[in-house]
Every structure is written in C-alpha cells, then in structure tokens.
Amino acid sequence: MQKAILDLRGMEISDLLESIAENIKGLQEGESVEFILDKEEVVHQLKKSDLKMEVKPVGPNYILKVYGGEIEIEERKEEEDLAIDEKTNVGKLVSRYPEAIEILARYGFTPIKNPFLRKTLAKTINLGQAKKLEGLSEEKFRKLLEELKELKERKR
C-alpha cells in the first residue's frame, strides 16, 4: 500500500534527507512512500544505504520508492585507529565518537542528528562527500577536521 508521493525537488540536501527520514520512519511491511528528487548525488548515496528501495530516472529527476519493513543494519565496533580526514566514513566516525554528531551538525550536516539517517545513510558517505553535498568551503572544512581531531585526542 502506497502511503504518499512527495515532491522534494528544489530542497536543500539536508532538508531533503530529513524529510525522507521523517516520512519513512514508521513504514510497515507492505507499505511504501515515493519521492520525486532532483539531486543525483543524494540518489547515489541512498543507493548505498540499507533501505529497501527502487530508483527510476525520469528525465532530469528521479522517482525513489522506499518500502517498509525491518532493515538489517550491521553495527560493528572498529578497534583499529580511525584517521580523521576527507576519506573518513561518517558512520564509523559517529559510532566511535558520538560527540562528533554535534560538531558535524554545527557545520551544516544536520541530517546526522536523525538516528535513522545515522544508521543508514551515514555509513555510505565520507567526510569529503559530505563536504561536497553541503557546499562547505575549504576553510570551514579544515576547521571541522581540526575539531574532530581534537575530539579524537580528548577521547584517547
């Protein structure tokens, strides 16, 4: 049973991701929600997530259909050292250092505050990709990395 069709074209990426998360949060087995998107980079990131979904290109846009049901999410504690740079996986970062959520949110990565997105989308994206999605300047990104490295040092 389809619950809704939502047109998310023209939205800022962070608002778009939060809207998707909010609308699929309570989906039950057999239910679905469709989204019309115009951000190819978001579609590519969502494809890497654990969501049960289909994506259909339609002209310059995409129809994303997300299905309800239990999502199996593998969570592992990584014991090796986690380097903080543009290649750092956001999911691993916030799993290891939960305080990083607030730091990332201050720099515009507000979808990271949504628990559902942390468990699905965050593990498919690295800091460099997040920087590009949010349009963060090199200077601000450098400051973000410095704060995250300081957090890591405090936690040693």
Whether 27 shows a pLDDT value over 70: the answer reads: yes
Count of structural domains, the chain: 2
Whether 29 shows a pLDDT value over 90: the answer reads: no
Sheet holding 32-37, edge to edge: 2-7, 32-37, 61-67, 52-58
Q: Give the pLDDT confidence score for residue 144 in this predicted structure.
A: 95
83 located within any domain = no
Strands (E), 26-88: 32-37, 52-58, 61-67
For the stretch 37-75, pLDDT in tens is: 999 888 888 887 778 889 999 999 999 998 887 655 444
75 located within any domain = no
Assess whether 60 and 100 both reside in one domain: no
Q: Give the pLDDT confidence score for residue 77 in this predicted structure.
A: 46
Whether 13 shows a pLDDT value over 90: the answer reads: no
32 located within any domain = yes
84 located within any domain = no
Q: Taking the model in full, what pTM does it have?
A: 0.64
72 located within any domain = no
Q: Give the pLDDT confidence score for residue 78 in this predicted structure.
A: 45
For the stretch 100-155, pLDDT in tens is: 999 999 999 888 888 878 877 788 889 999 898 888 999 999 999 999 999 999 98
63 located within any domain = yes
**In angstroms, what CA-CA distances link 9 with 32, 36, 60?**
19, 6, 11
Q: Domain span at residue 126?
A: 90-155
